[in-house]
Amino acid sequence: MFDIEPLVAWWDTSQESLDAGLARIVAELHDAPELRALVFATNSARRPSAIPSLPGVRVVYLASARKPLRTAPYLALPKPGAVIGDQVHTDGLLARRLGYTFLHWSPPLTGVPPGPRLMHAAGRLIRPLVFGAGGRPGQRD
């Protein structure tokens, strides 16, 4: 599962940027033999022009996903799984709730809007609460 902003397309970018980002990730995962489902999720209302397909893989795009509160759209997904995102308290908590691995991507904060920048700082504080004393994603006590 990929968080849309900033992994697929940077915040406040064009429709073309979102569409190109989705196509790029699908193309990069084309030969991933174990991949059975690919989910793109964002808490924003942003939607692609079209959802790219990948032979033999269920590709889903969830806008207004309400991560981490809403888990129903993810319950039928295969396990094991991983959530790749930049925010501990949305992407990380969703991964924890689903029993998935959380791959935390921490982009350079240059050009990051104030809201995500503040959420990033708050994520450092809650990381030990979500992932245990070591506070590292992918681990549990």
Alpha-helix runs per DSSP H in the chain? 15-28, 93-98, 114-131
Q: What is the mean pLDDT of residues 93-98?
A: 94
Answer positive or negative: Cα dihedral of 115, 11, 27, 75.
Answer: positive
What's the pLDDT score for residue 115?
75
Q: What is the mean pLDDT of residues 105-125?
A: 74
The more confidently predicted of residues 132 and 77 is: 77
The chain-wide mean pLDDT, for the chain, equals 88
What's the pLDDT score for residue 132?
74
Q: Is the pLDDT of residue 4 over 80?
A: yes
SS3 letters for 32-62?
Answer: CCCCCEEEEECCCCCCCCCCCCECCEEEEEE
Q: Is the pLDDT of residue 32 over 80?
A: yes
Domain edges within the chain: 2-131
Structure token digits, residue 131: 């992932």
What's the pLDDT score for residue 16?
97
- Rounded CA separation 110/26 (Å): 27
